[in-house]
Structure 1
Amino acid sequence: MATSFMHPLIEKALNEKRNLTEPESKTLLKEYGLPVPAFWCCTSAEEAVAAAEIVAYPVVMKVVSPDILHKSDVGGVKVGLNSKREVTAAFKEIESAVQLHGTFSGVIVYHEQKQGTEIIIGATYDEQFEHALMFGLGGIFVEVLEDVSFRLIPITEGDAREMIREIKGYRVFTGVRGEGPKDIDSIVNALLQVSTMVKENPEIRELDLNPVFVYEKGLTVIDARIIVIS
C-alpha cells in the first residue's frame, strides 16, 4: 500500500533506517489527538534538571536511543525523581548504562502520572490482511492471560465498543472493589484515533502503547513504541 504523502517523522526514521524514538512516537500520537504527558527531550543533566522543574516533580526519565526498544531492560528508565540531585544522578546513570547497548541520544523527561487502570493498544501488519488493531488490559492480563481483542483497520465506533466489551476483564471498567467506573468513551476515542493514524500512515509495521492509564475521566499514553523497519 502506498500513499502520496509520508509523515516527516516516519520519512526521517526510514531514511535513517531506524524506528521512531519515544519522543517521535508521542509527537505523532499527539497530532492525532491522543493524550500524552507534556515532555522535554534533554541531552545534558542540566537540561534534564531544567525540564524537571518545568513539568514539576516527581518526574520520570527515560533514555532516547534509536537502537533500544526495551528501555527498562538496559537500565534506561528512572521513576519517582524528586529533586535536582536525583535527576542529575539519574541522567548520569542512564547515560553510563545505555552506552553499553546502543547510541545515547539523550533522555525524555515528564511529570510522573497518577496510576490508572492499565490498558494496551497495539497494531500489527500482515501481508495478507494488512493492519489489525489490538486492545486489552495491561500488566499481567496481557502478558499472562493474553486477554485481548482484535479488529482489522479501519474500525468504526461500534467496532471499538465491541473490542472493549469482548475482553474477559471488561468489568474492571464498570467499577470494582470500590473504584468508580472508568471512562470507556475515552478508550473508544483512542482506538478510533489509533486506527486513523495507522490507516493514514501505512508505513507503520507495529505499534505498542503500553501502558495507557485510564481514569474515571480521560486517559494518558505513558509509553509508546512505533516500528517502521520490518
Structure 2
Amino acid sequence: MVFSPEESRRYARHLVLKGMGGGGQQALQRARVLVVGAGGLGSPVIAYLAGAGVGALGIVDHDSVSLSNLQRQVIHTTAGIGTGKVVSAAAFAQGLNPHAGIVPHAERLDASNVDRLVEAYDLVLDGTDNLVTRRIVAAAAERLGKPLVSGAVSMFDGQVTVFAPGGPGFAALYPEDASDDDLPSCEATGILGPLTGVIGTLMAMEAIKLITGIGTPLIGRVLTYDGKDARFSEFSY
C-alpha cells in the first residue's frame, strides 16, 4: 500500500512514530472497525479513528441528534438537531478525513441484526448506555471471534476494558443477574461532558493498539477513571 503525498503529510506524525511507522498506518487503512453508538463515547471514538485513517469505519445508531446531546456528543452540532446521528457522524468524519471509509448503519442494533453487522468488521467498539444492548454486542463478538472494546460512564466516573478471543468474557465482569434497573441513568443523574471524552479517547487508543499490535491491550483488565479526584486505577477480572 503506497501513500499519496497528501496522505504522507496527513499521517506524518504516525509515520515517524517508532513502533507505528508505515506498517502501522497501513494496518489502520486495512482495518474494518464497527462503532456501536454515535453518542457521548462514540463521538471521540469516531473522531480519532477517522482521523487515524481507518479504512472502513462502520457507525451504527438509530437515534437522532437532540439539544441535550450537545453538551458531550461533540461531533454533532446545533444545526444538526433532528438529523440522524449516523448521518451527522458520517458528515463529521468525512469532513475530518476524506480518506477514511465511513459506512453508515442507520438502524437499531438488536438480536436480529447484530451478527450481520458485527461479522463484516474486524473489531467492535461499544459505547452504548444499557446492559441489554451491551450483552447483545458482546455475545455476538464472542460468537464471531471479534475483539470488543467496551466503555462505560456515569456522572463523574468511567471505565474501559477489552474483551478478546481467549480472554475473559462479558459475563466475567457483568453477572447475568445485573440489570439496567440497578444502574443510574444518564437522564436521572447527569453526566459531566468531558468524562465521555476521556473514556472514548481511551477506547480509540485501545482500538489502535489492537489493530497495529502496539503495546498491551486491556484484556482481562478494567481501567477506571475518577473524574472528581483525577485518579486512574485498574483491576483484573
TM tier relative to shorter chain:
under 0.3
Q: Which has the larger radius of gyration?
A: 1
Higher percent of residues as helix? 2
Higher percent of residues as strand? 1
